[in-house]
Structure 1
Amino acid sequence: MDSGTALVIAVPAAVLGAAGFGLASAAQQRATHEVAVAPTLSPRLIVELLARPMWLLGLVATIVALALQIVALAFGPLAVVQPLLVTGVAFASVFAALMNGRRPDALILLGALLCAAGLSAFLLLARPTEGSTDGEFNLMAGLPLAIALAVLVLGCVFYAATVEHSSRVLALALATGVLYGVTAGLMKVITGQLRVGLDEPFRHPVLYVVCIIGPMGFLLSQNTFQAGQLVAPAVAVITSVDPVIGVLIGVSWLGERLDSSPSLLMGQYLAAAVVIGSIALIAVRGHHLLQRREILADRPLVMRRGAGPVAR
């Protein structure tokens, strides 16, 4: 199949997958606020959410979106598919606004599109060469990265558990994105093992690690949605960190190589700055919207002569 025909399949699948992830995030975020607050990584949260139709809708949307993502990645390159999936931030904002009877915020949507553009540029500039395709990977070479990511996740979870501040949502989202990225990187190892034989993944520890890290990431995402009042900042962090961690795993564990010429490195830094700036824009704008809603909610209603109740 030529590249043009492949993109005809990959692009719509990626966009529909992004819409599915957006719907899932908005529905799950709404459902998590309908149940009691659970400790971080407590399975009790999932047990309570199973009784919420809105959460089940989000679960179905997640499964459909994952299937579409697999189709998109099967026919299109990561540098094309992943930025389209990041537009799930915009879809999540739209669905969340509709569920709450409000119009989507233009600045948050702009931040989401800039985030996707920055990530697209980063992936195009940092596109790694093909590494191991037979399921073999250099664990010892990736050990420093594994330790660093483990410390980062534990630090984020500890911060979120001990600090009462709005930034705890971003910490949880960062940890979730790391776990999702590690899961995606290890799944690439498993797909390589499947080329050797259908029973090959069961002979290696990677499959069993994925069976632990994957559910942990999903559970942590529900903690993230429950901790935040707005879905866009969390989704922006998760969907941006995920592919970056995947690239790092490819380089550290799978023998992939990045073009490290000075001009491309400068472009990668600028693209990363756009992504970080976009996430900051979404977070700051979200904080402003929450403050404005709190002010409006606290204003007393007064009766004007000959008029209905108005907010003072």
Structure 2
Amino acid sequence: MNQELPSLMVAVPAAIAGAACMGLASAAQARATKEVPVGKTLHPRLLLDLARRPLWLIGISATIAGLGLQLVALGFGPLMLVQPLLVTALPFAGGFAAWLEGRRPDGVVLLGTLICVAGLSALLMLARPSDGTNRLLPGGSLVPLAIALGLVALAGLAWSALVSRPSRVLGLALATGVFYGLTAGLMKVVAGDLREGWQVTFTHWTLYVVCVVGPIGFLLSQNTFQRGRLIAPSLAVITTVDPLVGVAIGVWWMDEKAATGPAVLAGEVLAATAIVIGISLLSWRNSHPAAAETGSAGAEAEETQFALKAVDGSPARR
């Protein structure tokens, strides 16, 4: 990679540790959101209800730690390196969710994790991402991608409002992934400003946009976790869309580079396919736990009962 070793020795561990914190946060928040009534999308009342749940507060602490570590990683590494590493939040979330439910991840979960890590390692080795600038490129390059991201987020929200109930949560997850990726891209600029001095961060508009876009994405994620029966399918969409948006921002807005060539591109496609297969395997397994290992029949009935109570407007408490 075209990065100095000291920078990589900070960026990579920070990104993976941040992904672990985000995995814990997702598992804790997903479980806590099932204990409060279901409200309207993006209604702040949900956060007020969740603030009374100790498990959700643990998730918030993990979120803050994860964002801090992500900010450190973005300060020392390119978006094209840091954002794909955050895909590892999905296996971390699966492990923490199993721990909170009193069960152990099975062999299929471990296999999906290994496939994700192998595909991600191959992708980074082939791409050899190089850092660009800590500033957004001037000119018209900002507008086309901004419009595209806005349309994708709106399409996700429309999907969640119009399609049948079982799949509408995926529309919320799509919109969440867009907001998360956009937040990460702008945090890259904020991280660069912090390395110049904390006073510099208040002189650029990116910090203030992050303070708006970030909370919107977070609230959407809570809506997503609450309305999805299990965490893995929706989190798989979020953790796939988030780095894709981050990579697009790195290339279009911050002049980051990656290796090219027919052989490299073919290898990157295969590596990306492996990541998708690993994520799909984790999603399927978390959606279809083995009854002998997890007692899924009782757990699924319990989750259905909580969901029905929440839809009726009455708190579903564990």
Q: TM-score, normalised by structure 2?
A: 0.79
Counterpart-to-counterpart distance in 1, 2:274 and 2:27: 25
Equivalent residue number for residue 108 of structure 1? 109
Greater length-normalized contact order (CA 8 Å, ≥ 6 residues apart): 2
Offset at 1:222? 0.7
**Higher alpha-carbon deviation: 183-192 or 145-154:** 183-192
Offset at 1:131? 2.6
Counterpart-to-counterpart distance in 1, 2:261 and 2:124: 15
Counterpart-to-counterpart distance in 2, 1:204 and 1:67: 19
Offset at 1:224? 1.3
Q: Which AA in structure 2 matches 1:293? A: S
Q: Which AA in structure 1 matches 2:249? A: I
Q: Which AA in structure 2 matches 1:262? A: P
Deviations 1:93-127 (A, max 9, x none): 12211212222233234223322332333344334
Query: What are the within-5 Å matches in structure 2 for residues 155-170 of structure 1?
Result: 155-170=155-170
Counterpart-to-counterpart distance in 2, 1:165 and 1:260: 42
Offset at 1:194? 5.4
Equivalent residue number for residue 271 of structure 1? 271
Counterpart-to-counterpart distance in 1, 2:139 and 2:49: 38
Counterpart-to-counterpart distance in 1, 2:71 and 2:206: 19
Alpha-carbon contact 1:156-1:175 (below 8 Å) kept: yes
Change (3 A) 1:73 1:225: same
Change (3 A) 1:154 1:77: closer
Change (3 A) 1:157 1:110: farther
Alpha-carbon contact 1:90-1:113 (below 8 Å) kept: no
**Higher alpha-carbon deviation: 19-28 or 62-71:** 62-71
Structure 1: state its 5+ residue gaps.
299-312
Equivalent residue number for residue 246 of structure 1? 246
**Higher alpha-carbon deviation: 52-61 or 75-84:** 75-84
Deviations 1:39-78 (A, max 9, x none): 2211111111111111001001111222233344555666
Counterpart-to-counterpart distance in 1, 2:136 and 2:13: 32
**Structure 1 residue 288 corresponds to structure 2 residue 291:** no
Change (3 A) 1:119 1:146: farther
Deviations 1:139-176 (A, max 9, x none): 52132221111111111111112223433333322221
**Structure 1 residue 212 corresponds to structure 2 residue 212:** yes
**Structure 1 residue 148 corresponds to structure 2 residue 151:** no
Change (3 A) 1:193 1:234: same
Change (3 A) 1:87 1:194: closer
Counterpart-to-counterpart distance in 1, 2:19 and 2:160: 27
Alpha-carbon contact 1:132-1:254 (below 8 Å) kept: yes
Equivalent residue number for residue 39 of structure 2? 38
**Structure 1 residue 91 corresponds to structure 2 residue 54:** no
Higher-helix-fraction structure: 2
Counterpart-to-counterpart distance in 2, 1:188 and 1:74: 7
Equivalent residue number for residue 256 of structure 2? 256
Counterpart-to-counterpart distance in 1, 2:180 and 2:84: 16
Q: Which AA in structure 1 matches 2:243? A: P
Change (3 A) 1:12 1:48: same
Q: Which AA in structure 1 matches 2:296? A: R
Equivalent residue number for residue 304 of structure 1? none
SS in 1 for 2:283: helix
Alpha-carbon contact 2:80-2:129 (below 8 Å) kept: no
Change (3 A) 1:191 1:64: closer
Equivalent residue number for residue 234 of structure 2? 234
Offset at 1:20? 1.8
Deviations 1:162-211 (A, max 9, x none): 22343333332222122111111112233445567755554543333222
Offset at 1:235? 2.7
Aligned residues: 296
Counterpart-to-counterpart distance in 1, 2:162 and 2:284: 22
Alpha-carbon contact 1:138-1:254 (below 8 Å) kept: no
SS in 1 for 2:105: coil
Change (3 A) 1:170 1:253: same
Alpha-carbon contact 1:115-1:236 (below 8 Å) kept: no
**Structure 1 residue 58 corresponds to structure 2 residue 59:** yes
Equivalent residue number for residue 190 of structure 1? 190
Structure 2: state its 5+ residue gaps.
302-318
In our comparison, the structure showing a higher alpha carbon Rg is 1
SS in 2 for 1:166: helix
Deviations 1:246-275 (A, max 9, x none): 121121112233333111211222222222
| Identity among equivalent pairs (%) | 54
Aligned Cα RMSD in Å? 3.1
